[in-house]
Amino acid sequence: MSEQVIRHPEIERPNAFTQEELGWEPWLEPKPAEALTEEDYAGLVERKRADSPYFRLLVRDPVVLGARTRADNDIFYNTDSGLGRAERELSAAATSRTNGCIYCASVHSRFASLQAPSRRDDVQRLLDFGVDGAQDERWTAVVEAAVALTATPSHFGPAHVAALHAVGFDDQAIVDVIQSAAFFNWANRLMLSLGEPTPPAR
């Protein structure tokens, strides 16, 4: 007999994009906390990630999880030049909106709003209307580049680079747009396929 997935028929699945804090339940058994080895903790990078069922599921391949997590941190949190923090989160949110990852979009739209508190409504417009929601020219260039790179096959082309240059982003910032959108094409596929979001706690 093969192993069995975990089903959650009781969950009322969130069915709209939101900046609220959602939960997430896995469809496969995470590694039990008491079974974690030192290699697993190295893969988790931060010990507190052992509290997360998502990371305890991914730690079933600890070397890959460790590399994934360190790459994630460098792409989003290394602020030595390049794209601003808010715009990196915007790129992640636009990618997640396009792929349809309600959970990832909730986290990174919330982070974008935290980084740019005056722009919470702009972020919400991205969630509500996707690429059709109007943004200023800088955010439009970032969103359109992320969305084009998210298409399969990729539609990202010279016009996206030219548009990013035209609104003042340098090549280092464009590398950050590319890597943050590319990274969420990785993250979205894991979050969407290994479990499901749960409603905000009330």
- To which H or E segment does residue 77 belong? helix 62-77
Tokens found for residue 28 = 């496969």
Which of 46, 78, 137, 168 binds another protein (CB under 8 A)? It is 78
CA-CA distance, 77 to 177, in Å (whole number)? 13
Query: By C-beta, is 83 or 116 nearer to another protein?
Result: 83
- Residue 113 engages another protein in binding (rule: CB under 8 A): no
Contact segment (CB under 8 A) with another protein among 46-54, 84-92, 111-119, 191-199 equals: 191-199
Query: By C-beta, is 27 or 37 nearer to another protein?
Result: 27
Burial 48-78 (b: 16+ CB within 10 A, else e): ebbeebbbbbbbeebeebbebbeebeebbee
Residues from 138 through 157 that contact another protein (CB under 8 A):
149-154, 156-157
- Residue 118 engages another protein in binding (rule: CB under 8 A): no
Query: By C-beta, is 21 or 67 nearer to another protein?
Result: 67
Query: By C-beta, is 136 or 193 nearer to another protein?
Result: 193
CA-CA distance, 132 to 117, in Å (whole number)? 22
